[in-house]
Structure 1
Amino acid sequence: MTAEPPEPSAHPVPAERLRASDDDREAVVERLRDAAAEGRIDFDELDARLEQALTSKTYAELAELTADLPRPATPADRPPLVLKGGMSGASVGPGRWEVPGRVIAHGGVGGVKVDFSRVECRLAEVTVEAYGETSGVTVVIPDGWAADTSGMDPGVGGLKDKTTPDRLPGTPLVKLTGSGGMAGVIIRHPDRRERRKLRSNPPRG
Protein backbone atom coordinates (compact mmCIF):
# COMPACT_ATOMS: atom_id res chain seq x y z
CA MET A 1 0.00 0.00 0.00
CA THR A 2 1.46 3.34 -1.05
CA ALA A 3 1.33 6.34 1.24
CA GLU A 4 -0.95 9.18 0.19
CA PRO A 5 0.80 12.54 -0.36
CA PRO A 6 0.09 15.04 2.39
CA GLU A 7 -2.73 17.47 1.69
CA PRO A 8 -1.86 21.17 1.32
CA SER A 9 -2.11 23.07 4.57
CA ALA A 10 -5.51 24.64 5.19
CA HIS A 11 -3.77 27.55 6.89
CA PRO A 12 -1.25 29.14 4.49
CA VAL A 13 1.53 31.25 5.96
CA PRO A 14 0.55 34.96 6.12
CA ALA A 15 2.44 37.16 3.67
CA GLU A 16 4.25 39.08 6.40
CA ARG A 17 5.71 35.83 7.77
CA LEU A 18 7.18 34.75 4.44
CA ARG A 19 10.96 34.51 4.25
CA ALA A 20 12.77 37.54 2.86
CA SER A 21 15.43 37.23 0.15
CA ASP A 22 18.84 38.88 -0.12
CA ASP A 23 17.36 41.30 -2.67
CA ASP A 24 14.58 42.22 -0.22
CA ARG A 25 17.14 42.95 2.50
CA GLU A 26 19.31 44.98 0.11
CA ALA A 27 16.31 47.09 -0.95
CA VAL A 28 15.61 47.98 2.69
CA VAL A 29 19.29 48.80 3.25
CA GLU A 30 19.22 51.25 0.32
CA ARG A 31 16.03 52.84 1.61
CA LEU A 32 17.53 53.30 5.06
CA ARG A 33 20.66 54.89 3.62
CA ASP A 34 18.54 57.29 1.59
CA ALA A 35 16.57 58.18 4.73
CA ALA A 36 19.79 58.97 6.59
CA ALA A 37 21.04 61.12 3.71
CA GLU A 38 17.76 63.05 3.86
CA GLY A 39 18.13 63.60 7.61
CA ARG A 40 15.17 61.42 8.58
CA ILE A 41 17.25 59.17 10.86
CA ASP A 42 20.62 59.84 12.46
CA PHE A 43 23.70 57.75 11.76
CA ASP A 44 23.59 55.84 15.06
CA GLU A 45 20.06 54.75 14.28
CA LEU A 46 21.10 53.97 10.71
CA ASP A 47 23.80 51.58 11.96
CA ALA A 48 21.34 49.83 14.26
CA ARG A 49 18.70 49.47 11.56
CA LEU A 50 21.20 48.28 8.97
CA GLU A 51 22.35 45.53 11.31
CA GLN A 52 18.75 44.46 11.87
CA ALA A 53 18.00 44.60 8.11
CA LEU A 54 20.89 42.32 7.25
CA THR A 55 19.77 39.73 9.82
CA SER A 56 16.02 39.94 9.20
CA LYS A 57 14.36 36.69 8.20
CA THR A 58 10.81 37.72 7.25
CA TYR A 59 8.97 40.49 5.44
CA ALA A 60 7.43 41.58 8.75
CA GLU A 61 10.86 42.15 10.31
CA LEU A 62 11.95 44.23 7.31
CA ALA A 63 8.70 46.22 7.22
CA GLU A 64 9.18 47.25 10.86
CA LEU A 65 12.47 48.96 9.97
CA THR A 66 10.85 51.32 7.44
CA ALA A 67 7.37 51.67 8.95
CA ASP A 68 8.04 55.27 10.07
CA LEU A 69 9.56 56.36 6.73
CA PRO A 70 7.59 57.88 3.83
CA ARG A 71 6.97 55.63 0.87
CA PRO A 72 9.60 56.30 -1.81
CA ALA A 73 8.39 57.65 -5.12
CA THR A 74 8.67 55.30 -8.08
CA PRO A 75 9.00 56.23 -11.77
CA ALA A 76 5.36 55.26 -12.27
CA ASP A 77 4.36 57.84 -9.61
CA ARG A 78 6.11 60.72 -11.32
CA PRO A 79 3.94 63.25 -13.16
CA PRO A 80 3.86 62.92 -16.95
CA LEU A 81 6.62 64.57 -18.95
CA VAL A 82 4.96 67.01 -21.36
CA LEU A 83 6.85 68.21 -24.46
CA LYS A 84 5.45 70.88 -26.79
CA GLY A 85 7.10 71.55 -30.14
CA GLY A 86 6.13 75.21 -30.27
CA MET A 87 7.88 77.29 -32.92
CA SER A 88 11.41 75.95 -32.42
CA GLY A 89 10.73 72.33 -31.50
CA ALA A 90 11.46 70.35 -28.34
CA SER A 91 13.36 67.20 -27.43
CA VAL A 92 14.46 65.02 -24.57
CA GLY A 93 17.58 62.85 -24.80
CA PRO A 94 19.77 61.34 -26.10
CA GLY A 95 21.51 61.94 -22.78
CA ARG A 96 20.31 60.29 -19.58
CA TRP A 97 16.97 61.47 -18.21
CA GLU A 98 14.46 60.24 -15.65
CA VAL A 99 11.73 58.32 -17.44
CA PRO A 100 8.22 58.64 -15.98
CA GLY A 101 5.44 56.19 -16.69
CA ARG A 102 3.92 58.55 -19.24
CA VAL A 103 5.30 61.00 -21.80
CA ILE A 104 3.04 63.40 -23.71
CA ALA A 105 4.47 64.90 -26.91
CA HIS A 106 2.78 67.60 -29.01
CA GLY A 107 4.63 68.09 -32.29
CA GLY A 108 3.37 71.64 -32.76
CA VAL A 109 5.09 73.73 -35.43
CA GLY A 110 8.69 72.78 -34.58
CA GLY A 111 8.34 69.04 -33.95
CA VAL A 112 9.32 66.85 -31.01
CA LYS A 113 11.88 64.10 -30.55
CA VAL A 114 11.79 61.66 -27.62
CA ASP A 115 15.06 59.71 -27.43
CA PHE A 116 15.33 56.79 -24.99
CA SER A 117 18.62 55.48 -26.42
CA ARG A 118 20.76 56.28 -23.34
CA VAL A 119 18.30 55.87 -20.50
CA GLU A 120 18.03 53.22 -17.81
CA CYS A 121 14.40 52.33 -17.16
CA ARG A 122 13.05 49.68 -14.78
CA LEU A 123 9.41 50.22 -15.65
CA ALA A 124 7.60 47.34 -17.33
CA GLU A 125 5.73 49.77 -19.59
CA VAL A 126 6.09 53.39 -20.68
CA THR A 127 3.22 55.14 -22.41
CA VAL A 128 4.09 57.75 -25.03
CA GLU A 129 1.07 59.82 -26.00
CA ALA A 130 2.14 61.46 -29.26
CA TYR A 131 0.32 64.04 -31.38
CA GLY A 132 2.05 64.72 -34.68
CA GLU A 133 0.21 67.98 -35.37
CA THR A 134 2.06 70.21 -37.89
CA SER A 135 5.66 68.94 -37.68
CA GLY A 136 5.45 65.44 -36.24
CA VAL A 137 6.88 63.43 -33.38
CA THR A 138 9.84 61.03 -33.52
CA VAL A 139 10.39 58.42 -30.80
CA VAL A 140 13.72 56.57 -30.62
CA ILE A 141 14.00 53.40 -28.51
CA PRO A 142 17.11 51.25 -27.91
CA ASP A 143 17.63 47.90 -29.58
CA GLY A 144 16.01 45.28 -27.39
CA TRP A 145 13.06 47.48 -26.49
CA ALA A 146 9.73 46.81 -28.21
CA ALA A 147 6.75 48.98 -29.07
CA ASP A 148 2.99 48.47 -29.08
CA THR A 149 1.39 50.85 -31.55
CA SER A 150 -2.08 49.30 -31.59
CA GLY A 151 -3.53 52.25 -29.63
CA MET A 152 -2.29 54.85 -32.11
CA ASP A 153 -4.57 56.73 -34.54
CA PRO A 154 -2.42 57.33 -37.65
CA GLY A 155 -4.36 60.44 -38.65
CA VAL A 156 -3.53 62.14 -41.95
CA GLY A 157 0.25 62.04 -41.47
CA GLY A 158 0.35 58.36 -40.65
CA LEU A 159 2.36 56.17 -38.32
CA LYS A 160 5.75 54.69 -39.22
CA ASP A 161 6.76 51.84 -36.92
CA LYS A 162 10.35 50.85 -37.75
CA THR A 163 10.98 48.87 -34.58
CA THR A 164 11.61 45.15 -34.25
CA PRO A 165 9.56 42.89 -31.95
CA ASP A 166 12.69 41.36 -30.38
CA ARG A 167 12.22 42.52 -26.81
CA LEU A 168 14.93 41.59 -24.33
CA PRO A 169 14.02 40.48 -20.78
CA GLY A 170 13.85 43.33 -18.28
CA THR A 171 13.27 46.06 -20.87
CA PRO A 172 10.14 48.21 -20.99
CA LEU A 173 7.39 47.98 -23.57
CA VAL A 174 6.68 51.39 -25.10
CA LYS A 175 2.93 51.79 -25.63
CA LEU A 176 2.34 54.42 -28.28
CA THR A 177 -1.00 56.24 -28.25
CA GLY A 178 -2.34 59.52 -29.62
CA SER A 179 -2.73 60.67 -33.19
CA GLY A 180 -0.47 61.23 -36.18
CA GLY A 181 -2.14 64.52 -37.02
CA MET A 182 -0.99 66.26 -40.20
CA ALA A 183 2.73 65.37 -39.99
CA GLY A 184 2.62 61.87 -38.50
CA VAL A 185 4.53 59.98 -35.84
CA ILE A 186 7.65 57.81 -36.24
CA ILE A 187 8.93 55.25 -33.76
CA ARG A 188 12.25 53.57 -34.52
CA HIS A 189 15.57 52.32 -33.24
CA PRO A 190 18.71 54.51 -33.57
CA ASP A 191 19.74 55.31 -37.14
CA ARG A 192 23.30 55.05 -38.51
CA ARG A 193 24.40 58.48 -37.30
CA GLU A 194 22.96 57.89 -33.85
CA ARG A 195 24.59 54.47 -33.68
CA ARG A 196 27.99 55.98 -34.49
CA LYS A 197 27.58 58.41 -31.61
CA LEU A 198 26.55 55.60 -29.30
CA ARG A 199 29.63 53.57 -30.27
CA SER A 200 31.98 56.52 -29.79
CA ASN A 201 30.41 57.50 -26.47
CA PRO A 202 28.61 54.42 -25.08
CA PRO A 203 26.20 54.80 -22.15
CA ARG A 204 27.93 54.29 -18.82
CA GLY A 205 26.56 51.70 -16.39
Structure 2
Amino acid sequence: MRASHHDRDAVVDLLRDAAAEGRIDHEELDERLERALTSRTRAELAALTVDLPAPPDSGPALPPLVLKGGLSGATRGPGQWETPAHVIARGGVGGVKIDFSRVRTRLPEVLVEAYGETSGVTVVIPDGWAADTAGMDPGTGGLRNGTTPDRLPGTPLIRLTGSGGLGGVEIRHPDRKERRRLDDNPA
Protein backbone atom coordinates (compact mmCIF):
# COMPACT_ATOMS: atom_id res chain seq x y z
CA MET A 1 0.00 0.00 0.00
CA ARG A 2 1.26 3.49 -0.84
CA ALA A 3 2.49 5.65 2.04
CA SER A 4 0.84 8.98 2.84
CA HIS A 5 2.42 12.17 4.14
CA HIS A 6 1.01 11.31 7.56
CA ASP A 7 2.63 7.83 7.44
CA ARG A 8 6.03 9.34 6.63
CA ASP A 9 5.65 12.04 9.33
CA ALA A 10 4.80 9.40 11.96
CA VAL A 11 7.95 7.41 11.09
CA VAL A 12 10.09 10.57 11.18
CA ASP A 13 8.75 11.36 14.67
CA LEU A 14 9.44 7.80 15.85
CA LEU A 15 13.01 7.92 14.48
CA ARG A 16 13.71 11.26 16.15
CA ASP A 17 12.39 9.92 19.47
CA ALA A 18 14.59 6.84 19.11
CA ALA A 19 17.66 9.05 18.54
CA ALA A 20 16.77 11.20 21.55
CA GLU A 21 16.54 8.04 23.68
CA GLY A 22 19.96 6.86 22.42
CA ARG A 23 18.58 3.85 20.50
CA ILE A 24 20.18 5.00 17.23
CA ASP A 25 23.06 7.39 16.64
CA HIS A 26 22.90 10.61 14.61
CA GLU A 27 24.52 9.11 11.52
CA GLU A 28 21.98 6.29 11.44
CA LEU A 29 19.19 8.80 12.14
CA ASP A 30 20.17 10.87 9.09
CA GLU A 31 20.28 7.77 6.91
CA ARG A 32 16.89 6.51 8.10
CA LEU A 33 15.28 9.95 7.83
CA GLU A 34 16.39 10.25 4.22
CA ARG A 35 14.94 6.82 3.43
CA ALA A 36 11.71 7.65 5.31
CA LEU A 37 11.13 10.86 3.40
CA THR A 38 11.61 9.11 0.05
CA SER A 39 9.64 5.94 0.89
CA ARG A 40 6.74 5.18 -1.39
CA THR A 41 5.10 2.29 0.46
CA ARG A 42 4.16 1.47 4.01
CA ALA A 43 6.36 -1.65 3.81
CA GLU A 44 9.42 0.53 3.14
CA LEU A 45 8.53 2.66 6.16
CA ALA A 46 7.93 -0.37 8.38
CA ALA A 47 11.43 -1.68 7.60
CA LEU A 48 12.89 1.52 9.06
CA THR A 49 11.29 1.03 12.49
CA VAL A 50 11.10 -2.76 12.83
CA ASP A 51 13.93 -2.78 15.42
CA LEU A 52 12.43 0.08 17.49
CA PRO A 53 9.74 -0.10 20.18
CA ALA A 54 6.24 0.94 19.16
CA PRO A 55 5.17 4.44 20.18
CA PRO A 56 3.29 4.63 23.47
CA ASP A 57 -0.47 4.35 23.28
CA SER A 58 -2.09 7.76 23.22
CA GLY A 59 -4.74 6.61 25.68
CA PRO A 60 -8.22 5.27 25.26
CA ALA A 61 -10.10 6.23 22.14
CA LEU A 62 -12.87 8.75 22.58
CA PRO A 63 -16.39 7.36 22.09
CA PRO A 64 -18.24 8.47 18.94
CA LEU A 65 -19.73 11.96 19.09
CA VAL A 66 -23.44 11.88 18.25
CA LEU A 67 -25.20 15.13 17.29
CA LYS A 68 -28.96 15.17 16.69
CA GLY A 69 -30.61 18.23 15.17
CA GLY A 70 -34.02 17.49 16.68
CA LEU A 71 -36.39 20.47 16.55
CA SER A 72 -33.94 23.24 17.43
CA GLY A 73 -30.69 22.07 15.85
CA ALA A 74 -27.26 21.16 17.20
CA THR A 75 -23.80 22.67 16.80
CA ARG A 76 -20.30 21.51 17.70
CA GLY A 77 -17.48 24.05 17.46
CA PRO A 78 -15.94 26.41 16.40
CA GLY A 79 -14.26 26.54 19.81
CA GLN A 80 -11.47 24.18 20.80
CA TRP A 81 -12.60 20.60 21.25
CA GLU A 82 -11.01 17.21 20.91
CA THR A 83 -12.52 15.20 18.12
CA PRO A 84 -13.09 11.48 18.31
CA ALA A 85 -12.32 9.24 15.33
CA HIS A 86 -16.05 8.87 14.63
CA VAL A 87 -18.76 11.56 14.49
CA ILE A 88 -22.43 10.86 13.75
CA ALA A 89 -24.66 13.79 12.74
CA ARG A 90 -28.42 13.54 12.18
CA GLY A 91 -29.93 16.76 10.82
CA GLY A 92 -33.48 16.23 12.05
CA VAL A 93 -35.75 19.28 11.69
CA GLY A 94 -33.30 21.84 13.14
CA GLY A 95 -30.11 20.82 11.30
CA VAL A 96 -26.57 20.16 12.52
CA LYS A 97 -23.34 22.11 12.07
CA ILE A 98 -19.93 20.60 12.89
CA ASP A 99 -17.05 23.08 12.84
CA PHE A 100 -13.56 21.53 12.95
CA SER A 101 -11.83 24.95 12.68
CA ARG A 102 -10.16 24.71 16.08
CA VAL A 103 -10.17 21.03 16.97
CA ARG A 104 -7.24 19.31 18.59
CA THR A 105 -6.46 16.01 16.91
CA ARG A 106 -3.55 13.80 15.97
CA LEU A 107 -5.83 11.40 14.12
CA PRO A 108 -4.92 10.66 10.50
CA GLU A 109 -8.58 10.27 9.63
CA VAL A 110 -11.98 11.21 11.08
CA LEU A 111 -15.11 9.40 9.96
CA VAL A 112 -18.16 11.66 9.79
CA GLU A 113 -21.49 9.90 9.25
CA ALA A 114 -23.89 12.62 8.11
CA TYR A 115 -27.60 12.13 7.59
CA GLY A 116 -29.20 15.32 6.25
CA GLU A 117 -32.75 14.25 7.08
CA THR A 118 -35.06 17.33 6.87
CA SER A 119 -32.76 20.32 7.55
CA GLY A 120 -29.32 19.08 6.58
CA VAL A 121 -25.81 18.85 7.98
CA THR A 122 -22.97 21.33 7.46
CA VAL A 123 -19.34 20.31 8.09
CA VAL A 124 -16.65 23.03 8.19
CA ILE A 125 -13.00 21.98 7.95
CA PRO A 126 -9.86 24.17 8.13
CA ASP A 127 -7.88 25.06 5.03
CA GLY A 128 -5.31 22.37 4.36
CA TRP A 129 -7.63 19.56 5.43
CA ALA A 130 -9.16 17.35 2.76
CA ALA A 131 -12.41 15.44 2.48
CA ASP A 132 -13.28 12.11 0.88
CA THR A 133 -16.97 12.10 -0.04
CA ALA A 134 -16.98 8.89 -2.13
CA GLY A 135 -19.01 7.03 0.53
CA MET A 136 -21.78 9.63 0.58
CA ASP A 137 -25.24 9.05 -0.93
CA PRO A 138 -26.49 12.50 -2.00
CA GLY A 139 -30.15 11.62 -1.46
CA THR A 140 -32.77 14.18 -2.49
CA GLY A 141 -31.06 17.15 -0.79
CA GLY A 142 -27.72 16.52 -2.44
CA LEU A 143 -24.08 16.82 -1.44
CA ARG A 144 -22.20 20.11 -1.77
CA ASN A 145 -18.43 19.80 -1.52
CA GLY A 146 -16.71 23.17 -1.29
CA THR A 147 -13.32 21.84 -0.16
CA THR A 148 -10.04 21.89 -2.02
CA PRO A 149 -8.15 18.65 -2.70
CA ASP A 150 -4.87 20.09 -1.35
CA ARG A 151 -4.12 18.33 1.93
CA LEU A 152 -1.26 19.54 4.10
CA PRO A 153 1.01 16.92 5.70
CA GLY A 154 -0.03 15.96 9.22
CA THR A 155 -3.66 17.01 8.80
CA PRO A 156 -6.52 14.55 9.04
CA LEU A 157 -8.66 13.34 6.20
CA ILE A 158 -12.40 13.75 6.80
CA ARG A 159 -14.11 10.66 5.40
CA LEU A 160 -17.75 11.59 4.85
CA THR A 161 -20.39 8.85 4.63
CA GLY A 162 -24.15 8.72 5.06
CA SER A 163 -27.03 10.23 3.12
CA GLY A 164 -28.12 13.73 2.15
CA GLY A 165 -31.78 13.01 2.86
CA LEU A 166 -34.11 15.94 2.14
CA GLY A 167 -31.91 18.65 3.67
CA GLY A 168 -28.64 17.66 2.05
CA VAL A 169 -25.09 17.67 3.37
CA GLU A 170 -22.47 20.37 2.81
CA ILE A 171 -18.75 20.15 3.54
CA ARG A 172 -16.62 23.26 3.08
CA HIS A 173 -13.86 25.48 4.40
CA PRO A 174 -14.78 28.49 6.59
CA ASP A 175 -16.68 31.26 4.81
CA ARG A 176 -15.77 34.95 5.06
CA LYS A 177 -17.83 35.56 8.21
CA GLU A 178 -16.40 32.49 9.97
CA ARG A 179 -12.83 33.47 8.99
CA ARG A 180 -13.36 36.96 10.41
CA ARG A 181 -14.67 35.49 13.67
CA LEU A 182 -11.65 33.17 13.88
CA ASP A 183 -9.25 36.06 13.20
CA ASP A 184 -10.94 38.25 15.84
CA ASN A 185 -10.68 35.48 18.47
CA PRO A 186 -7.29 33.77 18.02
CA ALA A 187 -6.89 30.43 19.75
- TM exceeds 0.5? yes
Q: CA deviation at 1:202?
A: 2.2
Instruction: Indicate the structure whose relative CO is greater, using CA pairs within 8 Å and at least 6 residues apart.
Output: 2
Question: SS where residue 195 of structure 1 aligns?
Answer: helix
Q: CA deviation at 1:199?
A: 1.3
Q: Answer yes or no: is 1:127 the counterpart of 2:121.
A: no
Q: How big is the alpha-carbon RMSD for the aligned residues of Structure 1 and Structure 2?
A: 2.5
TM-score, length basis structure 1: 0.66
1:166 & 1:158 partners in 2: Cα distance?
23
2:76 is matched with 92
1:10 is matched with none
Question: SS where residue 182 of structure 2 aligns?
Answer: helix
Pick from 59, 77, 98: which aligns with 1:73?
59
Q: In the TM superposition, what are the counterparts of 1:44-193 in structure 2 within 5 Å? A: 54=21, 72-74=58-60, 77-193=61-177
CA-to-partner distance for each residue in 1:98-132, whole Å, 9 max, x for gaps?
A: 11111000001111000000112211111100000
2:129 & 2:95 partners in 1: Cα distance?
23
The runs of 5 or more residues in structure 2 that have no matched partner are: 1-13, 25-48
How many residues align structurally? 149
Aligned-pair identity in percent equals 68
Question: SS where residue 104 of structure 1 aligns?
Answer: strand
- The one-letter amino acid of 1:80's match is P
CA-to-partner distance for each residue in 1:26-56, whole Å, 9 max, x for gaps?
A: 7xxxxxxxxxxxxxxxxxxxxxxxxxxx566
2:103 & 2:162 partners in 1: Cα distance?
23
Bigger-Rg structure (1/2): 1
Q: CA deviation at 1:24?
A: 4.6
Q: CA deviation at 1:87?
A: 1.0
Q: CA deviation at 1:23?
A: 2.0
2:104 & 2:71 partners in 1: Cα distance?
30
1:126 & 1:21 partners in 2: Cα distance?
25
Summarize the Cα distance change of 1:107–1:24 in structure 2 as closer, same or farther, 3 Å threshold.
farther
1:127 & 1:25 partners in 2: Cα distance?
34
CA-to-partner distance for each residue in 1:173-201, whole Å, 9 max, x for gaps?
A: 10000000011000000000000011112
TM-score, length basis structure 2: 0.72
The runs of 5 or more residues in structure 1 that have no matched partner are: 1-19, 27-53
1:25 & 1:199 partners in 2: Cα distance?
39
2:42 is matched with none
Q: CA deviation at 1:21?
A: 4.3
Q: In the TM superposition, what are the counterparts of 1:28-39 in structure 2 within 5 Å? A: none
